[in-house]
């Protein structure tokens, strides 16, 4: 769990009526409530999605970020789910924006909490994905795209991507052994 310390409140005004929010503790969880209308503001995590695309050599497609504090570091192509979006559609949109590729979103590989940004707790869902169209070209927040061996990765932007890629490396190695052992 993220250690929030005495971080109360982060927001000042009520999203319902515009009144002042006052911080309080609810079962050891920091919350804010409006002093005018009583609305309790639950600061929930945002949802992110990422697409795992492997090529025929079992290499992972990564993008190098070109903006913000993670500029120059690599990540699995990813982005946030907009309020009105379904998660699969969000991944298709984000993947297209960042790679110029159209993908088919397959099964989830894993879901993880991301605590690397102290201003934003997010929950990420990493999906298996398959390229169905397009030509590889970086866009949006990325300036380079490349495939990497799972045991020889570049410097990664996000600690959770490192965790996911370690899980993926173990999974792929297990599947290759299982495949070779099959009659």
Enzyme catalytic residues: 144
d(CA 134, CA 100): 6
* Separation of first and last alpha carbons in the chain: 45
Spatial separation of the C-alpha atoms in residues 132 and 127, rounded to whole Å: 15
The DSSP element (H or E) to which 46 belongs, if any, is strand 46-52
35, 20 contact by CB (below 8 A) = yes
The DSSP element (H or E) to which 88 belongs, if any, is helix 87-99
CA 162 to CA 37: how far, in whole Å? 44
Q: What are phi and psi of 80, to 5 degrees?
A: -95, 150
Sign of the alpha-carbon dihedral angle for 32, 34, 39, 45: negative
Which 3 state secondary structure label does DSSP give 2?
A: coil
CA 183 to chain CA mean position, Å: 38
């Amino acid at each position: 769990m993220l250690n929030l310390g005495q971080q109360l409140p982060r927001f000042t005004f009520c999203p319902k009526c515009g009144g002042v929010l006052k911080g309080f503790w609810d079962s050891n969880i920091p919350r804010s409530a409006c002093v005018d209308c009583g609305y309790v503001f639950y600061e929930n995590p945002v949802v992110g999605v990422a697409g795992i695309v492997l090529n025929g050599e079992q290499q992972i497609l990564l993008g190098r970020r070109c903006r913000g504090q993670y500029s120059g570091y690599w990540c699995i192509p990813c982005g946030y789910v907009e309020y009105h979006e379904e998660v699969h559609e969000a991944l298709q949109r984000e993947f297209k924006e960042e790679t110029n590729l159209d993908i088919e979103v397959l099964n989830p590989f894993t879901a993880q909490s991301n605590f690397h940004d102290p201003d934003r707790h997010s929950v990420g869902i990493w999906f298996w994905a398959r390229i169905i169209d397009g030509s590889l070209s970086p866009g949006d927040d990325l300036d380079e795209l490349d495939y990497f061996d799972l045991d020889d990765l570049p410097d990664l932007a996000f600690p959770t991507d490192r965790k996911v890629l370690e899980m993926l490396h173990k999974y792929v190695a297990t599947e290759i052994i299982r495949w070779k052992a099959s009659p």
